[in-house]
Each structure stands twice: as structure tokens, then as C-alpha cells.
Amino acid sequence: MARLFGTDGVRGLANGPVITAELALSVSVAAARVLGRAGAQSHRPKAVVGRDPRASGEFLSAAVIAGLASAGVDVYDAGVLPTPAVAYLTADSGADFGVMLSASHNPMPDNGIKFFAQGGHKLPDEVEDRIEAAMGEDWVRPTGPDVGRVVPMVDGHTRYLAHLLRVLPNRLDGLTVVVDGAHGAASAVSPEAFRLAGAEVVEIGASPDGLNINDGYGSTHLGPLRRAVVEAGADLGIAHDGDADRCLAVDATGADVDGDQIMAILALALKERGGLAADTLVTTVMSNLGLLQAMGREGVAVVQTAVGDRYVLETMRERGHSLGGEQSGHVIFLDHGTTGDGVLTGLMLAARMAETGRSLADLAAVMTRLPQVLVNVPGVDTARADTDPELLAAVSAEQESLAESGRVLLRRSGTEPLVRVMVEAQTAERAQGVAERLAEVVRDRLGR
């Protein structure tokens, strides 16, 4: 039987085979018994529940809340808020755990359920496995005064806003920012945060109706943001995904600024203020070689992890680092939060512009993105990708030919039955050629 939890909670088609009201009820009861158990001896367990504005989130959050309350957990219903807001409020309210209903950047028909432990931290695999195991166990239902109570967290929005503004190093007066909320969870809070910080704000993708989340707007559809920035003569544009745990940007000319460039800018800002722990940035192996080269020139060490913001976060916590993230725009400020926070990232990026008086294009020029080509090879025996001698020899030979001016990464997908071949080189043509040659070797050596 396949594991219920994926790399970021349980996710799939809402009201489809997996993400049903019945599943939401069952998994929330199990989570209440596993995550609420630690505090149950000294107090009544409490949980914060939030969601993005998907239509399916209405019935799924109702099922989650019902399951938690039926298991004796008092529930703070935070309503529609970004994922990082729910994580923050879980910690700030002293709750035993939190629940977020969202499918992030996925299209509207999907949805998902993810849990935060006490303090707002993501759950390790072993705790998720305990929750899944508990779903099939008998349990004693509380009755009478022992059932949980449900109250709206009416101040969740303002508490999260206060947190964002409190950690901002300086105001944004004089900047004009276009904010694209992806018709998602940050549609209200992100523009408000920028305005309260002093910026002039133009809003797009900020009219969620439950059906339009991520539909042509947000971090996976930057076209509208590029046009809006140029038309408004804005200094920058900020794009979130559906649950606002990521942020991508656009400079005043309409050029994209990806997560690697954002991390480079913010790492140097923190280093200058003495806030970059051990002068180290944590990224995944998919970050562009240009980021590694730039950080090397600037005296910033780079630690790389497996792909996934959870692995970035685990490494940051284990080693005490303060800044990390992914090329996709998940950026974690561990001194201020426990997960990627797209609103905070955008604010910090704009704050660096206001502080220095430099344009985003000028700041982003600290690194040069090498052309990157990714080829997916399906239908092969992925188990042998790390051990086949001829394939490993081919990878080594191509890497040697690129020397320090390029990079080869071959890895098994964690979510699909395929092998990914990623190549960076000085030119797109060179990268494409190397990637295609290696993809052919993968097919020849690992073909079923």
C-alpha cells in the first residue's frame, strides 16, 4: 500500500479518490490522538486550522475541524490565511499543532492537508507514519464537556501582519510594488503588508472566488505581473503561489528574478547586518551554479541538500543556519519563521532595495544565471540510476568536459517514475547537447 503522506502532506484531487471529506475527518482524528497526546496530560489540546480560498477547502476544513473537535481538541479556526501564517499562529498561540488545507501552486481542483507540530514546525516522516497508522485503530470518543470547542481566530490576520512588520529591517517608503496574489491565500494580507510598510501597491490576482486560484496568475504564471510592472512604472513585482509560501519577483524592466537571485540578494543583506549565521546559505542541489559561484566570490558558504524545502529546513535546524531556500521561491528565514514565507520574502527584498537605493536588476546582477536544461527520462529502471557503471562513467566524462564552467546532475524523481537529467553550461546550446547525450545513455542503460 502506498504511503498516504507525500513530501508536503496529503495532496490530490479534492473529492477524488484520496482527498475526501471522509479522509479529512479520519486523518484529523488520528492527528489529534498523535499530536495532541503530548499536552493532554497537562492541558486540553489545541490546534490552529487555516486554508487557502479553494472552494473544496470549505468542506474539507469543516471535516478537519469536526474530526479534531470530536477527538477532544479545541480548535482555533483561522480561516483563509497563508501557510506561513498558520505556522506562525500555531507557535504564537501555544497550540499543540496546526493544520493547513492547501494544494499550494496546484490548480484549483486539487487540495491537500498538512500538519504542523508544536512551534509551527513541519512533521518528520516518522510522525506522519504514526498518524497514518492511527487511522486504522480503535479509539475512545470523548463525550459531554470533553469534546473540543471551536472558536474563530478573528485576530489571526492582524497578528500575522504585526509579525511581518515587526521583523522588517526598514520601511519601504518611495517604492511602487505590484503584488500578484495568485487569487490565493495572500490576496488580502500581502498587499496590506506592503502598504503598511510604506510602499505604493498595485494589486493583481487579488480577487479570489474559490475557483480561480493559480489560474493565469501567481508564481507559475508571471506574464501578467511582467506586464503590470512595466505598465505601472513600478520598481518591482512580487508573485506568490496559492498558499503564499513562495515568492518570485520581476524587476522594473519586466525581467524575472528567481529564487536563487532572491536568496543571493538576501544572503548578502543579512551578512552585511551580521545576521547570516556562520555566513552560510542553505539551498538544494537544483540551485543554479551561478548562485554558488556568486556566493563564493562574496565569502558566503553554501550547503546543498536534496530537493524539497523540508530538507532545507531540516539542515538549517540541525546546523543552526538562518537563511535557506529553493530556486522555486521557497525562502526560509529561520530567525523569523518555521517555513517558507512568500510575503516576508517579498517584504525583505523590497526592504533591501529601499535600504540601498539600488534597483532590483542591479541587486540581482550579483549572480549570473547559467543556462539550465532539464530533461526527464520516463519508463526506465530508476533503482539503477545511482549504480550503473556505464551511466556513472558518462556523467563523469561530461562533467569533466564542462570543468568549473558547468554542472551535471542526474537524479531519480521523488514523485514520478523517471530520471531527471539537469545540465548547466555557459551556453544553452552546450547544456542542451550534454543533457540529450546523457538522456540517451539513461534510456540505453536503464530501459526496461
Whether 382 contacts 446, CB under 8 Å = yes
Cell numbers placing 236: 518591482
- What lies within 8 Å, CB to CB, of 83 at 6+ separation is 50, 52, 100, 102, 104, 114, 185, 243, 244, 245, 339, 340
Residue type, 250: V
Residue type, 136: G
Residues belonging to the chain:
448
**The one catalytic residue among 102, 104, 187, 287:** 104
238 beta partners:
179, 249
Whether 409 contacts 383, CB under 8 Å = no
Write the CA distances from 53 to 72, 170, 187, 209, 315, integer angstroms: 27, 31, 10, 7, 32
Whether 408 contacts 438, CB under 8 Å = yes
- Note if 104 is an active site residue: yes
Residue type, 256: D
What is d(CA 188, CA 80) in angstroms, rounded to the nearest whole number? Answer: 10
Cell numbers placing 74: 479545541
Residue written as grid cell 510522525 = 127
20, 22, 27, 29 alpha-carbon torsion, rounded to 10°: 150
Whether 337 contacts 88, CB under 8 Å = yes
Whether 102 contacts 57, CB under 8 Å = yes
Cβ neighbours around 169 below 10 Å, total: 14
User: Euclidean distance between the first and final Cα of the chain, in Å?
Assistant: 23
Residue 2: Cβ-neighbour burial (10 angstroms; 0-12, 13-18, 19+): exposed
Cell numbers placing 229: 510592472
Catalytic positions are 104
